[in-house]
Structure 1
Amino acid sequence: MKMLVIYTHPNHQSLNYAFLEKVIQGSSENKHISEIQVLDLYEEQFDPVLIFNENKRRRDMHIDPKLGKYREQLLHADKIVFVYPIWWGRPPAMLLGYIDQMFASNFAYRDKGGLLPEGLLKGKSVVCISTMKGPALYPLFWLNNAHKVLMRKALFRYVGIKKVKFFEYGSMEGPNGRQERKLNRIYQYFKSVGL
């Protein structure tokens, strides 16, 4: 199994980075995982800004040469892992900008003229690891699970990815956040996970 880890946090001293390290550590000890690629969107200086004009059209995003490397990463991966914080009830703008550009028509999905498109990323699986300052149940009760609905239904199912797992951790900035226990859970998960 080949894995792509997309890390989206500007600080390498953050708890999110510690989660990234546990993903890598566990995966490197997993006999089912043959390859691990890490894409650090901030370190990469990925440009999340969409620009459409007479020279750059939305319908051509799937062949934009500047995004070719990132398309290859997504196509190559069997499992895609996202590590990011929840800010204002949703992923960071940097990650949303990556999603806007990478999950484009004629690359991630193809319109068939009906209600739903044909997902072109079928057979892949996704894991989302996210942290937030607020309590773990805040997104469920106050935001109607908007984050998970956005990621699972509006994005991944739309492009054909049905297997999606979430690790959504709340109260991460407090002293009683059980950070070590949660870091170990991520390590153990990736040490043994299959496709």
Structure 2
Amino acid sequence: MKVVIVFNHPYEGSFCNAILQAVSNGLKKGNHQIDLIHLDRDNFNPVMTAHDLKAFRDQKPIDPQVINYQARIERADHLVFIFPIWWELMPAMTKGFIDKVIFPGVAYGYTNRANTRMKPLWTQIKGVTMLTTMNTPKALYWAIFGNAIKKAVILGTLWKTGYRNLKWMSLNSVKQVPHQKRAKWLNGIEAKFAQLKN
């Protein structure tokens, strides 16, 4: 199975990088093919320009980097997002990736004339997994902030455009938990991805 990982964290010593390593180790154990889109190393420009908006309207992407990402995802069986939660949502590069890469006519199409119902066009993708880190406790993130990232990405983007088999692994209170618990998380993630099936 081909797995495309979309990764966003600028600091190599971050826990997100440890998660990326655990996911990659697990996928290798499962004999899966990995294609890493590292937004920070790629110097991805998240800004939606006037030209990008026109391309969005015309359903014809023009940014060469975006076109490259889209072609790679089109060949994927499973898509993985790894990023931190900052101020209850995703960093700018992840948001820009969603805005500029999940594109009408490429990632999704419409099933009615009013353009209100959507269908997925990356038909080979059978599942999407999102892994996030945050320092907010899980109960607080749910009760006060309403699981904002789930609403924005899982429901408001992926489910809305017709993708199914969507999973979110939230690693909370990262700064507060002991090293042993972090290690347990990483071992569990590696084991999960070693057994990944769509």
Query: How high is the TM-score relative to the length of structure 1?
Result: 0.91
Structure 2 segments unaligned to the other structure (5+ residues): none
Is the contact between residue 137 and residue 170 of structure 1 (CA under 8 Å) also seen in structure 2? Answer: no
* Other-structure match for 2:49: 51
Aligned residues: 193
What percent of counterpart residues are identical? 25
Q: Which residue of 2 aligns with 1:4?
A: 4
What is the rounded CA distance, in whole Å, between the counterparts of 2:160 and 2:52 in structure 1? Answer: 28
> Per the alignment, do residues 54 and 161 of structure 1 end up closer, same or farther by CA in structure 2, a change over 3 Å counting?
closer
Return the alpha-carbon distance in structure 1 between the equivalents of residues 147 and 86 of structure 2: 14
Match of 2:186 in 1: 183
Contact 1:121 1:160 in 2 (8 A): no
Distance in 1, Cα, partners of 2:80 & 2:52: 35
Q: 2:129 corresponds to which residue?
A: 127
Per-residue deviation, 1:54: 10
1:117 aligned partner, one-letter code: M
Distance 1:53 1:102, change over 3 A: closer
User: Paired residue for 1:90?
Assistant: 89
Deviates more, 1:131-140 or 1:70-79: 131-140
Give the aligned CA root-mean-square deviation in angstroms.
Answer: 1.9
Please name the residue that 2:103 is paired with: 104
Q: 1:159 aligns with which of 161, 165, 171?
A: 161
Q: Secondary structure at the match of 1:63?
A: coil
Partner-residue secondary structure (3-state), 1:185:
helix
Letter of the 2:4 counterpart: L
Name whichever of 44-53 and 106-115 sits farther off: 106-115
Give the drift of 1:57: 3.9
Q: Please say if residues 2 and 78 of structure 2, whose CA atoms lie closer than 8 Å, have aligned partners that are also in contact.
A: yes
How far does residue 175 in structure 1 lie from its aligned partner after superposition?
A: 4.3
Q: In structure 2, how many angstroms separate the alpha carbons of the residues matched to 1:167 and 1:84?
A: 11
Greater shift in the superposed pair: 98-107 or 115-124? 115-124
Distance 2:38 2:72 in 1: 13
User: How far did 1:61 drift?
Assistant: 5.4
Q: Which runs of 5+ in 1 are unaligned?
A: none
- Tell me, what secondary structure is at the counterpart of 2:98? helix
Work out whether residues 119 and 158 of structure 1, in 8 Å CA contact, stay in contact via their aligned partners in 2: no
Deviation at 1:56, TM superposition (A): 4.9
Q: 1:79 to 1:55 in 2, by over 3 A?
A: closer
Matching residue of 1:117: 118
